[in-house]
Amino acid sequence: MEKRLILFLILSAVIFIGWSHFIAPIIAPKPETPRPGEKTTLTTPSPSASVAVTPESQKQSPPAPSTQPATQAELRQIKVKTNYWDATLSNKGGVMTEWTMTKFPDGKVIDPPKGVNLISSELSQKIGAPFRFYIPSDPSLENELNSAVYNVENLRGQEVAVQSGERKEIKFSYANNGLEATKTLVFKGQGENSSGFDFDFVGSVRRNGNPVPAYVVVGPNFGDQSVREVNTYKHAPQVTYATNEGSVKRQPASSFKGGSQPTTLPIAWAAVDDNYFAMALVPASPQTNPAVGLLNDKYVSVAVPLNDGAVNHIYAGPKDLALLSKVSGEFGISNKSPLEDIVSYGIFDFVSGLIKPIAQFMLKALRAINSVTHNFGWSIVILTVALNMLFFPLRWRSSVTMKRAAAMAPRMKELQERMKKLDKNDPRMLDLQKEQIALMKEGNPLMGCLPLLLQMPFFFSVYAILTVSIEARNAPFIGWIHDLSSKDPYFILPIVMCVTMMAQTWLQPSPADPVQKKVQYFMPLILTVAFFRTAPAGLVLYWMVSNLVGVGQQYIINRLNPTNPPAAAADPSGSNGPGPNPPKGRPGPKSQKGRKTKEALAN
């Protein structure tokens, strides 16, 4: 019994001494095990030195357990109120958990009484909030920084009001065992150097004084959180970015091939946007590393490389062309990659350089009219009528040319039939070809299309501003139309538009080919079902009014310029085209040529 007791005491002493001298130093850095990747994945100048410092710090200050971070702070929610928007910041991660736009740039209330929510607190909690860190080289460090409770410096209250011309700064800081992270947001009230929708962000992540490669994230899903249905005309939030070379790329959630996707080149700015709103980050200095698009549960974000301690400019607000142009000037990016390029012109993006200035002019005109009518629907009607009246001379020219071509179609067909019967080396072929060229010059149908082509940039611009203009969003018109940015719930406008398209087609000169004639009459029905059935009511209203005015104009053209009688292949007068015969005894200038052609046809 005594031997067993002595053996027990000896073994206990050995275990105690061995534990204290050999095992304890190994287990002491245990709190650092959630970040083991720092030894190999972080690109710090001396990773081994950062590991060696930790045991020394444990020896020098054993009372402070390494499982507790150096920063001890209470969880706080900070409300920021400006003239145009309200936001909620959290010191857990130092992020923006909610953002609500309350007024338009002109000061009018939007979606009263609460405004339009653009950053969801629920989504921020589920996926992550804007201005969180993204550190692909060390996910455990990323998790620590995004879940830590930061200290809020120089701010005692829970609310910050930013008035016009004021500047308010909120700084979050966190420190733990040589790790230091700071985030500073500088909010600016509307004034000479601020639109009221822009602010600054400064971030830093350091370990033992050395910068840690990190990204700051914009998103997820910045945009109208009340939207539940997306379609061709109303897209879900997407990633949009401009490269340093000036090109603009757009990446919807469907284009991501995994959880993350780097951009093709270093970016000049990057944004998350929907039809009407955008949050964009503009780095203070040119980037050398590409940004990274992120996809979390079908919600998109974009992570931009963080320049340690540098000022990044943020824009969060409506995709208003005039406002974006002003902000681009404030950020110093107007010349190469302006923020106006966030606005998408859909299938017309390839001619955005032509459409952009016209769209800005048209939007100013719409707003000027709306300041009088106080109804965006009637403003669209008035602008559409004005546009069609402006282009009436072009429509007249086009109609006259098309009618002339239609009148000459039988004669042209007759010439073609004659030419089929002749050998290509037959000398009579030359005379027929000359007459055919003369007919084409007098009534070329392509020349009738040219005036219509000149109108297209203006019509494309109207299409663009009606699909992205924030004024059209939730704007009522009459009766059942409560939102011009959404489809007509009863499809009344698309049906009326289809009828007006058919009426306009019926009034225009018909092609000689029966197949083309059938296609011409079926095309309005196809377009209505395929495109305009789900189009925004404002866009359908524009096309419908344009068609109605076009029907009236075409009726006037037909009355003042009736269809000429079709030309015959062998005109008794010997003339070379349709029109009145020359007076008796005074042959026309082309009578000699007409007689030669008639002889060729007779042979």
The pLDDT tens digits of the residues spanning 180-189 come to: 999 999 999 9
447, two tokens? 């020349």
Locate CATH 2.70.98.90 in the chain: 77-344
Q: Spelled out in words, what is the top-level CATH class assigned to the domain 77-344?
A: mainly beta
- CB of 333 within 8 A of CB of 248? no
Strand partners, 277: 318
What is residue 45's predicted lDDT score, i.e. its pLDDT? 31
Residues of the chain short of pLDDT 50, as ranges, are: 1-10, 13-14, 16-68, 565-603
The pLDDT tens digits of the residues spanning 294-349 come to: 999 889 999 999 999 899 999 999 998 889 999 999 998 887 789 989 988 776 67
CA gap 271, 280 in Å, rounded? 4
Structure pTM? 0.73
How many angstroms separate the Cα of 410 from the Cα of each of 406, 413, 536? 8, 5, 43
Strand partners, 314: 199, 281
530, two tokens? 């395929």
User: Which ranges of 231-342 does DSSP label H, i.e. alpha helix?
Assistant: 321-331
What is residue 447's predicted lDDT score, i.e. its pLDDT? 56
- The separation between CA 551 and the C-alpha centre of its own chain, rounded to angstroms, equals 34
Ramachandran angles phi, psi of 23, nearest 5°:
-85, -40
Closest among 275, 278, 277 to 302, alpha carbons compared = 278
